[in-house]
Amino acid sequence: MSAHSAPAQTEIHTPAASRCAHDFQVNCNNCRLNTICLPLALDIAQVEQLDRIIQRSRPLQKGEHLYRQDEDFQSVFAVRAGSVKAYSITDNGQEQVTGFYLPGEVLGMDGIAKNRHASSARAMETSSICEIPFEKLGELSLRIPSLQKHFFQLMSQEISDDQRLLTLLSKNSADQRVAALLLSISARNKRRQLSAANFRLPMSRTDIGNYLGLTVETVSRVFSRFQKMGVLGVDNKEISIVDVEALRAVADGSENA
């Protein structure tokens, strides 16, 4: 294992959560992710109201489900620590990974429309999750306009993200897709004050392939190629971005190869 595995590991022990493994008393005000998952516009009293409806259950083990497709929709979820993948299965049985969710990110909003989850979500590693009952969130939003706005924005962001992914899938080569995913994860790590250059991918090659519309083999080959090109350091799931500029160039198709 390489040197940067240690910082990556701390992901699942945020300051708040690590004070005690069974500390379910963590609240939004002392959560270091609150600038990411919460509206900045809320004052302390409002955050406390929100806090009161949020449920924090025991950590999920790797592989456990947060919710399953077609189950009744009750809540949306925020990742506090760890990571989660969302995926859906179509009528004819094909599985599609629709998103990877890292700490501070919110998932489950696709269930609102039909009051049934349109996808399943499972932990890719041991994870702590905040459950936000949607009925109550709606009520609270009626009294806190900025909260309503924040949720409209969150959902809108999810739409934009999906549309960017759409473009990626329909227009870009395997190299570009993988490069874009790595840059996305890098940026999201950076937002959480983690290293943008060195990190551990929580998902398998298979998941990456499924998400990006590629086979495992292709994903693996791309990683190898990037490594050979001196753009990436790859040690199984440990990734280090050696040449960000080159990676960006690949991502938007302007490399001179």
Partner DNA sequence: ATTCCGGCTTGACGCAGGTCAAACCGGGGC
Partner DNA sequence: GCCCCGGTTTGACCTGCGTCAAGCCGGAAT
Residue 179 and residue 251 in contact, taking contact as beta carbons nearer than 8 Å: yes
Q: What Cα–Cα distance (Å) separates residue 213 from each residue in 10, 71, 186?
A: 31, 26, 20
Selected range binding a second copy among 12-20, 41-49, 52-60, 147-155, rule: CB under 8 A: 147-155
Considering the rule CB under 7 A, would residue 188 count as an interface residue with DNA?
Answer: no
Which residue, 8 or 250, has its beta carbon nearer to a second copy? 250
At 186, list the tokens. Answer: 């890098």
Count of positions on this chain that bind DNA (CB under 7 A): 21
Which residue, 28 or 201, has its beta carbon nearer to DNA? 201
Pick one of 174, 196, 242, 249: the residue that binds DNA (CB under 7 A).
174
Query: What mask of x and - would describe binding to a second copy in positions 54 to 93, judged by CB under 8 A?
Result: ----------------------------------x-xxx-
Return the residues of window 170-189 that contact a second copy according to CB under 8 A: 170-171
> Starting at the edge strand that comes first in sequence, how are the strands of the sheet with 120-123 ordered?
65-67, 120-123, 84-89, 95-101
Considering the rule CB under 7 A, would residue 27 count as an interface residue with DNA?
Answer: no
At 42, list the tokens. Answer: 């809320």
CA distance 168 to 188: 18
Pick one of 224, 230, 252, 253: the residue that binds DNA (CB under 7 A).
224
Classify residue 153 by burial, with Cβ atoms within 10 Å: 0-12, 13-18, 19+. Answer: exposed
What letter represents residue 21's amino acid?
A
In DSSP notation, 210-239 reads HHHT--HHHHHHHHHHHHHTTSEEEETTEE
Beta pairing partners, 61:
none
At 147, list the tokens. Answer: 């909260």
User: Cβ 41 to a second copy, closest distance in Å?
Assistant: 13
Which residue, 154 or 234, has its beta carbon nearer to a second copy? 154
Pick one of 195, 220, 238, 248: the residue that binds DNA (CB under 7 A).
220
Considering the rule CB under 7 A, would residue 122 count as an interface residue with DNA?
Answer: no
CA distance 134 to 146: 16
Considering the rule CB under 8 A, would residue 20 count as an interface residue with a second copy?
Answer: no
In DSSP notation, 118-160 reads SSEEEESSSBEEEEEEHHHHHHHHHH-HHHHHHHHHHHHHHHH
Q: Tell me which residues touch DNA (CB under 7 A).
A: 1, 173-175, 204-206, 213-221, 223-224, 234, 236-237
Q: Tell me which residues touch a second copy (CB under 8 A).
A: 88, 90-92, 94, 96, 98, 109-114, 118-119, 138-139, 141-142, 145, 148-149, 151-160, 162-167, 169-171, 210, 212-213, 252-254
